[in-house]
Amino acid sequence: MKMHRRNFLRIGGACALGLGFLPAVKVLAGSDLSKVMADPKALTGKKWGMVIDMKKCWEQGRKNCDDCITACHKVHNVPDIGNIKEEIKWIWTEPFENTFPEFKHAYMAEAIKGKPFTVMCNHCDNAPCTRVCPTKATYKRKDGIVVMDYHRCIGCRYCMAGCPFGARSFNFRDPRPFIAEINKEYPTREKGVVEKCNFCEERLAFGQLPACVEACQEKALIFGDLADPNSEVRKVLSSNYSIRRKPELGTEPKIYYLV
């Protein structure tokens, strides 16, 4: 069969058009139903958040207790590089003056001077990191958790520049040799990608609380749904004075501190 150039182009064009429509069809005709059945025990929320009661931590906790940090870094295969420049951390402590620089002054109460504050990703409601990411490797889930796709991240570190809380770490080298004991339930990372706290979304999916919350014997970390007025976080927030880091930047952090 002899095909004329014009017909060939017509058919080719129609095929290309069809391919172009395919994604639109997928969006319009697709359903919202997940392809994978969620675990019936899964914890679901609309706006996960956390209240950290530092007083409980200082008064009732052991001296230099770091249970929450150890638990988190263990389950998430966070390496111990042993070098401040390449440090990878999901949850750690900083002195009050560094966590809340705008509140420090010359006549601070001894009770708070230099006291360690537990810091982590704030899972901002209006997160700058997700806004700047050029590949959507970091994004906010429907339940408010800001997560990372380690397989999509190109390592441009724009999110690190965008985060005003210093919550993000970059794998400057292969992290695997620096993990004491690998937890096979959670992926390790490769060199060249960014990582941070994920509010233990992998544990919530199976009905478990975040590892740091579970590890804290003093119950200083309270996790819950900020959208649910009957949740424990909401009750604690409505009956206590709480502060957030750098609220003036408008990122709407979802980690609240009681002092």
Partner 1 sequence: MLEKTLNGSKWYWRWIILLLALMGVGFASYMLQLNQGLAVTGLSRDVSWGLYIAQLTFLVGVAASAVMVVLPYYLHNVKVFGRLTVFGEFLAVAAVIMCGLFVIVDIGKPARLLNIMLYPSPNSILFWDMVVLNGYLLLNILIGWNVLDAERKSVAPPGWVKPLIYLSIPWAISIHTVTAFLYSGLPGKHYWLTAIMAARFLASAFAAGPALLILLCFLLRRVSKFDAGDEAIRRLSVIVTYAMAVTVFFVGLEFFTAFYSQVPGHMHALEYLFVGYQGKGNLVPFMWTFAFLAVVALVLLLNPKTREKENTLKIACAAVFISLWIEKGLGLVIAGYIPNAFEQVVEYVPTAPELMITIGIWATGAFVLTLLYKIAVSVKEESELSIYSARYARVKPVGITVSQDSGKTGGM
Q: What is the contact surface with partner 1 in residues (CB under 8 A)? A: 84-88, 94, 97-99, 101, 128, 131-137, 152-158, 160-167, 169-174, 190-194, 246, 249-251
Backbone angles phi, psi at 99, to 5 degrees: -75, -40
Q: Which residue has the tokens 């080298």?
A: 173
Rank residues 67 and 190 by Cβ distance to partner 1 and give the closer one.
190
Rank residues 13 and 101 by Cβ distance to partner 1 and give the closer one.
101
Rounded Cα distance, 169 and 139, in Å: 16
Rank residues 16 and 161 by Cβ distance to partner 1 and give the closer one.
161
Identify the bridge partners of residue 92 per DSSP, sorted by sequence position: 119
Rank residues 141 and 152 by Cβ distance to partner 1 and give the closer one.
152
Closest CA to 167 of 258, 221, 246: 246
Nearest distance from C-beta of residue 121 to partner 1, angstroms: 12
Q: Which residue has the tokens 């999901």?
A: 90
3-state DSSP call for residue 104? coil
Cα-Cα end-to-end distance for the chain: 83
Nearest distance from C-beta of residue 168 to partner 1, angstroms: 8
Decide if 198 contacts 140 (C-beta within 8 A): no
Rank residues 49 and 253 by Cβ distance to partner 1 and give the closer one.
253
Nearest distance from C-beta of residue 132 to partner 1, angstroms: 5
Side-chain half-sphere CA neighbours of 161 within 13 A:
8
Backbone angles phi, psi at 93, to 5 degrees: -120, 150
Rank residues 11 and 249 by Cβ distance to partner 1 and give the closer one.
249
Q: Tell me the CA distances in angstroms from 133 to 162, 191, 205, 253, one per residue in order.
A: 9, 18, 25, 18
Nearest distance from C-beta of residue 151 to partner 1, angstroms: 8
Nearest distance from C-beta of residue 244 to partner 1, angstroms: 14
Nearest distance from C-beta of residue 139 to partner 1, angstroms: 10
